Chains A and B, each alone.
Chain A
Amino acid sequence: MTSKKPRILFIQNLVIQFTLRGRVLTAIRDISLDLYKGESLAIVGESGSGKSVLMKSIMGLLDKNGSIKQGRIIYQAQDLGQFTTEQEWLRVRGKEIAMVTQDPMTSLNPLKTIGKQIEECVVLHQGLKGKEAYEETLKLLKDVGIHDVKKRYKQYPHEFSGGMRQRIVIAIAIACKPNILICDEPTTALDVTIQAQILQLLKNLQHKYGLTIVYITHDLGVVAKVADRIAVMYAGDVIEVGETHEIFFNSKHPYTWALISSLPQLGSKGEQLYSIKGTPPNLFQEIKGDAFAPRNQYALKIDFLERPPFFQVSDTHYARTWLLDPLAPKVEPPAALQAFFAEGRQYASD
């Protein structure tokens, strides 16, 4: 289904490096990823796996010491990776690709009324002025579920609650009428009831404006609610990508298994919650083989020597693990996970 949609953006063999006090850190290691029009893609992974860096590179917001060393980011037949000047980026940033940031409490300018902050975007990207821009801003406020818009327009960020502020941040993002919306942990700073509202709002807006949304998150609960497809990242690499049900109920990579096993819902009472042993690799060093191998109880000898290619599981599902090689021994996921998989497939087929 998703694979039949046209690609809106794709990344090929992307390598991003940062220079920190003379040492080189490779944050993104040879990633290729497709984004299809109108879908919701979730990028999951632990802190430091490179999710945010990947998205920042799409918007040209990498820190000054970071740069694209190799690869391409193709959007509308132009390579965003080749952009160097601010002028080039301003054609895309905000206008075509917009972003919802993590912490709504600090993401708004405290000295400007929220109306002005949204209007700034309207003026910038839709070319409206004066009364028209004002009307458009009010409409956007209504769109994101804010009442009494004329009064709210004149209020400052500190007069809003966290959830309301996140709605305003979203209004700013869609004010630019973008094609792609990147949501960087849009709900981490919010409590659970508000989280659900915000996710629902994003879904509605996606429908209304035909947005393609990329969620960056480490919250698998969020992912399950909103994503059509999931890309799992580990140590700067996408190690498994597939449709949501494929990743949740038929994942192939041991790291994905470990992630899903760490969900609190999965553990049974009285048992200690599963956690992945060890720490992620040092990105300053060159990584040989599969980056997850040292923490992987199913690791094969070749995992330490050579980086696995993407093995195709289905039309939409790929995983980077030698376990899928025809020569590899047959390995089953942990028992608890197998039960979860079975339950999930049962549920899906009903």
Chain B
Amino acid sequence: MLQYIGKRLLQSVLTLFIIITIVFSLLRLMPEEGYLGAAADKMSPAQQEIYLTNLGLREPLLVQLGNFCMNLFQGDLGKSVTYRTDVPVTTIIAGKVTYSLLFGLGAVALSLIVGVPLGIMMAYRKGRWLDRLGTGYIVFVVAVPAAVYYLVIQMYITDLFQLPMLFDEYRPITWILPLTSMALAPTASYAMWMRRYMVDELNKDYIKLARAKGVKERTLMFKHVLRNAFIPMAQYLPATILFTITGSIYIESLYSIPGMGGLLVDAIQRQDNTVVQGLVLVFSSLGIIGLILGDIAMALVDPRIKLGKGGGVR
């Protein structure tokens, strides 16, 4: 197990390095005027040249990349260029990460608490009204673009309940709408998966044997089916959890939440390479950690998987 985790961690370092290289190179392809921003008109070409050289942009690409990686090992992501000039990127991100984490984890918790039991009940009462209602909800959330119902919620629900439209961290009531909006989609996917995997399991032979054995239908559901249905869930859960944390870009800008998603948009618009690199690193690390956690979680619930010996074979 430990050996397997070690191997996976090494692999992910490599993956991260590749991601960094690609993003780093792509950013260097962007036109240089971006770095100057509004100050471009006020600078002579010679001044501009000095400015860009100071930023390290005149070095060969490989040297730039090398420097970046060396600094990264020391926990230094560089300093912001245009977003908040000369403030370390780590400081900027640290200030934002709390909001994203709070909202992401909140939304995930909400969608797990609602979605998983909903899926279980839908499978248990397959074909009845609860199942149909749930399916309707899932179809709606999947078919309608998130942007549409996000906006509808923001415009009409705030009106209906007299809630403030924008986020204010000192007024708890303003947390409700962004959280529920964010939870809508993951709730639907958890419910859908849970229902699907449970129905899959219900059709298997061991369920027939368990029935023939005289096990009560309810015991069957919760003792036999549920755990088996959780295996595929366990694999995807951590990844989706982290995806929810990082994937809140739109909600953050709708409700003016000062989180990482809004920061990424800002940094790209202002061509703040160091901030963009830093954020990409954070996002992709979270994604990769999610995948590893998923594999480990699956190995924990499924005795058929022995990690380390010949890799994780399902």
Contacts and interface: CB of A to CB of B under 8 A. Distances in A.
B44 to A, nearest CB: 72
Interface string B190-214: 0000000000000011101111111
A98 interface: yes
A262 to B, nearest CB: 28
A107 B214 contact: no
A86 B215 CA distance: 10
A107 B206 CA distance: 4
Given A61-B208, A101-B205, A172-B209, A111 B214 contact: no
B212 A93 contact: yes
A268 B209 CA distance: 41
Contacts of A156: 303-304
B208 A109 contact: no
A101 B208 contact: yes
A108 B206 contact: yes
Given A111-B302, A111-B303, A120 B209 contact: no
B209 to A, nearest CB: 5
B206 A110 contact: yes
Given A110-B304, A158-B304, A120 B227 contact: no
A99 B209 contact: yes
A109 B224 contact: yes
A153 B107 CA distance: 42
B217 A59 contact: no
A158 B210 CA distance: 17
Contacts of A86: 216-217
Interface in B86-138: none
Interface in B294-314: 301-304
A111 B213 contact: no
B206 A106 contact: yes
A8 B266 CA distance: 81
A129 B211 CA distance: 21
Given A101-B208, A101-B209, A110 B214 contact: no
Contacts of A107: 205-206, 208-209
A103 B205 contact: yes
A120 B215 contact: yes
A325 to B, nearest CB: 41
Interface in A68-114: 86, 90, 93-95, 98-99, 101-103, 106-112
B224 A95 contact: no
Contact of B213 (A102, A103, A106, A172): A172
A94 B212 contact: yes
A99 B214 CA distance: 10
B284 interface: no
Interface residues of B, number: 21
Given A86-B217, A156-B303, A101 B212 contact: yes
B304 A61 contact: no
B206 A94 contact: no
B180 interface: no
Nearest to B230: A111
A253 B120 CA distance: 52
Given A61-B212, A94-B213, A101-B212, A106 B204 contact: yes
A107 B205 CA distance: 5
A138 interface: no
A125 B215 CA distance: 10
Interface string B267-302: 000000000000000000000000000000000011
Contacts of A109: 206, 210, 224, 228
A179 to B, nearest CB: 13
Contacts of A120: 213, 215
Find the residue from B206, B210, B217, B227 having the highest chain A CB count within 10 A: B206
A110 B205 contact: no
Interface in A137-182: 156, 158, 169, 172-173, 176
B235 to A, nearest CB: 15
A28 B227 CA distance: 37
A99 B303 CA distance: 27
B52 to A, nearest CB: 61
A156 B305 CA distance: 11
A273 interface: no
A176 B301 CA distance: 29
A227 B209 CA distance: 23
B227 A111 contact: yes
A102 B303 CA distance: 24
A90 B218 CA distance: 13
A124 interface: yes
Nearest to B304: A158
Contact of A99 (B204, B206, B212, B304): B212
A59 B213 CA distance: 10
A233 interface: no
B8 to A, nearest CB: 23
Contacts of B210: 109
A121 interface: yes
Given A98-B213, A110-B304, A176-B213, 8 more contacts: A86-B217, A93-B212, A94-B213, A94-B214, A121-B213, A124-B215, A169-B209, A172-B209
17 contacts: A90-B214, A93-B212, A94-B215, A98-B213, A103-B205, A110-B206, A110-B303, A111-B228, A120-B213, A120-B215, A121-B214, A124-B215, A125-B214, A169-B209, A172-B209, A173-B213, A176-B214
Give 3 closest A-B pairs by Cβ, nearest first.
Answer: A94-B214, A99-B212, A106-B205
